[in-house]
Amino acid sequence: MNRVDFKNIIHAEELKAKNAPTKHKIFVCCGAGCISSGADNVMKKLQEEIKNRGLEDIEVVPTGCMGPCNQGPLVKFKPGNTVYQKIDCVNIGEVVKSQIVDKKPLEDLLLFSEHREKPFVNAEEDPYFKKQLKIALKDCGDVHPEKIEDYLLHDGYKALDKALFEMSPEDVISEIKQSRLRGRGGAGYPTGLKWETVYRHVNDQKYIICNGDEGDPGAFMDRSVLEGNPHRILEGMTIAGYAVGANKGYAYIRGEYPLAIKRFEAAIKAAKKLGVLGKNILGTNFSFDVEVRIGAGAFVCGEETALIASIEGRRGTPSPRPPYPAESGLWGKPTLINNVETMASIAPIILKGGEWYSEIGTAKSAGTKVFALAGKINYAGLIEVPMGTTLREIVFDIGGGIQGDGQFKAAQTGGPSGGCIPAEHLDVKMDYEELMKLGSIMGSGGLIVMDENSDMVDVARFFMEFCVDESCGKCVPCRVGTKMMHDLLQKVCENKATQLDIERLEELAVYVKECSLCGLGGSAPNPLLSTLRHFRHEYDTRVQPVRKSENLVHQ
């Protein structure tokens, strides 16, 4: 297929969509959350209902995650963007009747009806969506993840077309640099610079890796994009391949996400069939192929050098850097590794320009960030906001506040490598720098809200236990240090610790941070240090007085 054919296909699809007899489209959220609350059955029942009522001009589309998972299963009607919540096989009939037949929205089941004086018929007007800006997640919830034609109707593969025919690889890189996009996998390294480094390393074989390991327990952003809009990631990877001069890519996806794996593999097949992936893409002499690699449940495999070992079929232990993967990565070749969300942001940047993207967000952190809200928050689910949105806006305006009558105590970001943000810092502007100042990190986007029932020492213990389990054992500071810190934290939790133990904890934290081989150990003390910093009194109130004899032993 060449460029003209491609344009013709898009044109034909657009015509087909325009002239389709379909007046209404009903979107059923089939994200992981809604499926576990029964979306599959709702989908079946809905199709039956439509058939029984003879409403043939209605199209039912299963989609990826729409956002407010806690209110699911969700069903959206277009035109009008009317969203209904907590749909089951019983009330779906009523909804169809009143929305389509009687043309009157069913107020009781509208999204957030229990919390709004007057729920919005057009969900986009609800503050939940109004405060958000969706770029990476934009089409999740609107496209059929297994239909490439649907993606084409949402500007799909247009960015690839633009990059291949109107831009040189250098142009693509400078566009990404201009966008000031930073890696969304945690560390926030400037994406354009990374691409340039890989581009500069001359080699006849280079690789692209999309990191979909999503190891942070309590985060599901990457999963939702992989499941909801896999073509967007494929497109991003292919553009990356063109820019840095690679012709082979790997998508490393967690084994815990079978649906994401299935949809991504289907997307690869469809893209190859269409000619936007594989040999001679769109008739050019650029070829790019993608393979899926399935993770096997090891947090450390999210770390780039460990991930490479795992793709090579070995134990996923990290190696010292340098050399960085950009120079010597997969099978010793220059390799570009980017997170799923980073890849999902590429196509819009190429289409709308780096300048457009760089104007969103804050001075040092451009663009938007996806957060996975969970914990004691009303509207747990997936959101995307401009960088610099305050934590208060996220938790209260978007997230609907704390569940029940609880009080906000802290929000945990960055998972086992991050820290807690206490209530007095609710007005922090969420970007890489500000979070760092508070002793936390942006991380991949997990945001867990805790209320006054959470015991912060136990939270630190919980994350330390996670790091003990997940330490690969290669380096001593991490393997032994995390275990020692865990045991000391356990002692504090059981009210058996003394002031000396706290001092030992602080000392160990520094050693482990400084001496570990990779980022797992390097950041393992973070939750401990951050709870010590913001919730010291919870440690102090449990500490036992030091007995004289003990004091002597430890001096």
Partner 1 sequence: MIVRNSLQDADLPQDDPRVKQLNVKMKKEGYKPDALIEILHNAQNSYGYLPINVLRYIAKVLRLPPSRVFGTVSFYHFFSMKSKGEHTCLVCTGTACYVKGAQKLLDKVEEKFGLKQGQVTQDGKIGLQAARCIGACGLAPAVILDDEVQAKVSPEDLISKLTSKLETHEQG
Report CA torsion sign: 440, 441, 443, 446: positive
Which of the listed partners (ligand FES, ligand FMN, partner 1, none) does 37 bind, with a CB threshold of 5 to 8 Å by partner kind? partner 1
Give the full edge-to-edge strand order of the sheet including 58-63: 58-63, 24-29, 75-78, 82-84
- Positions 154 through 213 that interact with ligand FMN (CB under 6 A): 183-187, 189, 211, 213
Choose which of 93, 190, 217, 401 interacts with ligand FES (CB under 6 A).
217
**By the rule CB under 6 A, 68 interacts with ligand FMN:** no
The four Cα atoms 491, 493, 497, 499 give a dihedral, to 10 degrees, of 130
Strand (E) or helix (H) holding 455: none
Q: Which residue is nearest to ligand FES (CB)?
A: 218
Tokens of residue 350, six digits? 């190429």
Which of the listed partners (ligand FMN, ligand FES, partner 1, none) does 368 bind, with a CB threshold of 5 to 8 Å by partner kind? none
**By the rule CB under 8 A, 414 interacts with partner 1:** no
Q: Based on CB atoms, which residue is closest to ligand FES, 69 or 243?
A: 69
Q: Based on CB atoms, which residue is closest to ligand FMN, 213 or 434?
A: 213
CA distances from 133 to 357, 369, 454 (A): 12, 9, 31
The per-residue DSSP string of 83-94 comes to: EE-S--TTHHHH
**By the rule CB under 6 A, 304 interacts with ligand FMN:** yes
Choose which of 472, 475, 497, 529 interacts with partner 1 (CB under 8 A).
472
From the list 380, 456, 426, the residue with the least C-alpha distance to 218 is 380
SS (H, E, C) 218-251: CCCHHHHHHHHCHHHHHHHHHHHHHHHCCCEEEE
Instruction: Sort 174 into a burial class: Cβ within 10 Å, 0-12 / 13-18 / 19+.
Output: middle
Choose which of 49, 216, 384, 431 interacts with partner 1 (CB under 8 A).
216
**By the rule CB under 8 A, 44 interacts with partner 1:** no
Shortest distance in whole angstroms from residue 448 CB to ligand FES = 8
Tokens of residue 217, six digits? 């327990």
**By the rule CB under 6 A, 331 interacts with ligand FMN:** no
**By the rule CB under 6 A, 224 interacts with ligand FMN:** no
Q: What share of the chain is helix, strand, coil (3-state, %, to 5)?
A: 50, 15, 35
Choose which of 142, 150, 214, 431 interacts with ligand FMN (CB under 6 A).
214
Say if residue 325 is preceded by a cis peptide, omega within 30 of 0.
no
Crossing angle for the helix pair 499-515 and 476-493, nearest 10 degrees? 160
Q: Based on CB atoms, which residue is closest to ligand FES, 150 or 214?
A: 214
Tokens of residue 117, six digits? 């004086």
Q: Based on CB atoms, which residue is closest to partner 1, 93 or 217?
A: 217
What is the DSSP code (8-state) at residue 398? I
Shortest distance in whole angstroms from residue 114 CB to partner 1 = 16
Choose which of 63, 70, 113, 339 interacts with ligand FMN (CB under 6 A).
339
Do 391 and 401 form a contact (C-beta atoms < 8 A)?
no
**By the rule CB under 8 A, 332 interacts with partner 1:** no
Choose which of 142, 227, 303, 434 interacts with ligand FMN (CB under 6 A).
303
Shortest distance in whole angstroms from residue 537 CB to ligand FES = 28
Footprint of ligand FES on this chain (CB under 6 A)? 217-218
Footprint of partner 1 on this chain (CB under 8 A)? 32-33, 35-37, 69-70, 72, 214, 216-220, 223, 254-257, 293-299, 310-317, 372-376, 380-382, 412, 415, 446, 448, 450, 454, 462-463, 466, 469-470, 472
Footprint of ligand FMN on this chain (CB under 6 A)? 183-187, 189, 211, 213-215, 300, 302-304, 337-339, 342, 444, 518-520
